[in-house]
């Protein structure tokens, strides 16, 4: 057969495809990873066609058996992928025809590559959303375990990267948890819109065959069918939505990474990362580099880029399908791979963090972290907050000049700023007193941290 005749769509053409154009337009090098979803979709389609009496039961069985054999062939690494056959769909269909003869050519009855690829992408993304959810859940569980262990470990809380107020390490970790909780909510919400079936829309207008889309939907586990054939084959907003949530999730991981990089530095020395998550230097033997968080921080940019790529891809496409949409897969695939890998790395690493508790506590003692506690103390003595704020400001200025923290000042030194200050002031100027005083939902008191962990575990179990 000539090249044009060997194409599954070659009947209309009078000359072979240019060799460069053939390679340039082919997608099999990257879309072959959807082979499992393509075969599952084809098995469901053949099953439905037989029930609709478009195929005989014997034809259905031959197709399904052939597809299962091809699946095993691919899994074993024995399948020969052909650029000349363009994509995963035509490679599998051509191989099926080689195996079972003319019956293989009947599989494509009532569908188009347009609704086939849209279905395959949704199946693939749904499968990988579930994998991502598993790693995200594992990371969240690890955070909760570490937060519970460190519920009373005092560290400085920062604003503008300057010491602000004392908090607990457990409370800080729960802030990370809340970011991930929202990411997981977005992931679940995105899955609902991914899990709609385009199959049956054919090229763009539906099909004249007596298909049963609800039956195919049921076989493939979709929640519902796409309700408009033009929209079903041409839009990729579900992929854009995924990349948007992936970019947000990576942004959260990047913020966590930045803190881990800072905390492992000699200047902070708040935590130790186990050696298995670090690398050394080729020239400086003392170096222990936090490569995992640094790399996750760097990978955030590529996921942000994939979001922009897909938005730009879709922004001026007329209905219905256009070849532009072949460019949807590589950004989506890489966004999935990057997020999944980053979550796995963090899920392995976070539970293994080793806090340097005394270093954290000593850092919280510097920077007048309990200044707000002193102001609140004065307010409880009847002083207006703005006046209390000024009094404490003067006390801090004195401490800066004398190189003394508020908790290190004597009662006589403190009383020079207000005669309302008594011996009981030292109960609120201690770090433990400060964090314990924030004893409300969302506060940093160890009691509240443990309660928050319990609530989060309960929510995560459902």
319 and 454 in a single domain? The answer is: no
14, 160, 410, 461: the catalytic one is: 160
278 and 132 in a single domain? The answer is: yes
26 and 161 in a single domain? The answer is: no
**CATH code (residue 239):** 1.20.200.10
From 51, 79, 109, give the residue that closes a domain. 109
Q: Which domain holds residue 424?
A: 367-460
Domain tally for the chain? Answer: 3
2, 56, 265, 281: the catalytic one is: 281
289 and 159 in a single domain? The answer is: yes
272-311 residue pLDDT tens? 998 898 887 778 867 788 999 999 999 999 999 999 999 9
312 and 183 in a single domain? The answer is: yes
127 and 95 in a single domain? The answer is: no
Q: What is the pLDDT of residue 4?
A: 46
Q: What is the pLDDT of residue 5?
A: 44
378 and 348 in a single domain? The answer is: no
From 91, 109, 127, give the residue that closes a domain. 109
pTM over 0.75: yes
377 and 412 in a single domain? The answer is: yes
From 75, 91, 109, give the residue that closes a domain. 109
425 and 343 in a single domain? The answer is: no
Q: Which residues contact 13 (CB under 8 A, 6 or more apart)?
A: 4, 7
253 and 163 in a single domain? The answer is: yes
297 and 409 in a single domain? The answer is: no
Q: Which regions of the chain are under pLDDT 70? A: 1-15, 285
317-356 residue pLDDT tens? 999 999 999 999 999 999 999 999 999 999 999 999 999 9
Q: Is 160 a catalytic residue?
A: yes
386 and 416 in a single domain? The answer is: yes
**CATH code (residue 400):** 1.10.40.30
Decide: 383 and 396 in contact? Cβ < 8 Å: no
């Amino acid at each position: 057969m000539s090249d044009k005749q060997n194409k599954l769509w070659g009947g209309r053409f009078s000359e072979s495809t240019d060799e460069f154009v053939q390679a340039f337009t082919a997608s099999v090098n990257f879309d072959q990873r959807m082979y499992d979803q393509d075969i599952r979709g084809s098995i469901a389609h053949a099953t439905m066609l037989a029930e609709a009496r478009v195929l005989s039961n014997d034809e259905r069985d031959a197709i399904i058996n052939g597809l299962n054999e091809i699946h095993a062939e691919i899994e074993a690494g024995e399948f020969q992928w052909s650029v000349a056959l363009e994509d995963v769909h035509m490679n599998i269909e051509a191989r099926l025809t080689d195996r079972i003869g003319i019956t293989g050519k009947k599989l494509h009855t009532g569908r188009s590559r347009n609704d086939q690829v849209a279905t395959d992408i949704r199946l693939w993304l749904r499968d990988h959303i579930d994998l991502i959810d598993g790693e995200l859940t594992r990371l969240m569980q690890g955070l909760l375990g570490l937060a519970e262990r460190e519920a009373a470990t005092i560290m400085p809380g920062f604003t503008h990267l300057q010491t602000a107020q004392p908090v607990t390490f457990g409370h800080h970790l729960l802030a990370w948890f809340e970011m991930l909780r929202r990411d997981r909510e977005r992931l679940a919400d995105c899955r609902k819109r991914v899990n709609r079936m385009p199959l049956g829309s054919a090229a763009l207008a539906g099909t004249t065959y007596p298909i049963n889309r609800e039956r195919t939907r049921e076989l493939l586990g979709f929640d519902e069918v796409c309700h408009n054939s033009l929209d079903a084959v041409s839009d990729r907003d579900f992929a854009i939505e995924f990349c948007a949530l992936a970019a947000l999730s990576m942004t959260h991981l990047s913020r966590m990474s930045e803190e881990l990089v800072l905390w492992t530095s000699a200047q902070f020395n708040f935590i130790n990362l186990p050696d298995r998550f670090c690398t050394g230097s080729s020239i400086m033997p003392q170096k222990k580099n936090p490569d995992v968080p640094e790399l996750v921080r760097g990978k955030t940019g590529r996921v942000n880029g994939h979001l922009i790529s897909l938005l730009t891809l879709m922004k001026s496409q007329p209905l219905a399908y256009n070849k532009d949409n072949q460019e949807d897969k590589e950004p989506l695939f890489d966004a999935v791979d990057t997020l999944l890998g980053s979550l796995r790395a963090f899920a392995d690493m976070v539970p293994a963090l080793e806090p340097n508790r005394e270093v954290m506590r000593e850092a919280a003692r510097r920077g007048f972290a309990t200044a707000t506690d002193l102001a609140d103390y004065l307010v409880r003595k009847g002083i207006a907050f703005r006046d209390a704020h000024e009094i404490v400001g003067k006390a801090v200025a004195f401490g800066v000049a004398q190189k003394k923290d508020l908790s290190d000042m004597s009662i006589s030194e403190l009383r020079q700023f207000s005669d309302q200050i008594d011996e009981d002031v030292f109960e609120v100027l201690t770090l433990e007193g400060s964090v314990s005083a924030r004893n409300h939902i969302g506060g940093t008191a160890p009691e509240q941290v443990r309660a928050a962990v319990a609530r989060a575990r309960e929510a995560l179990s459902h």
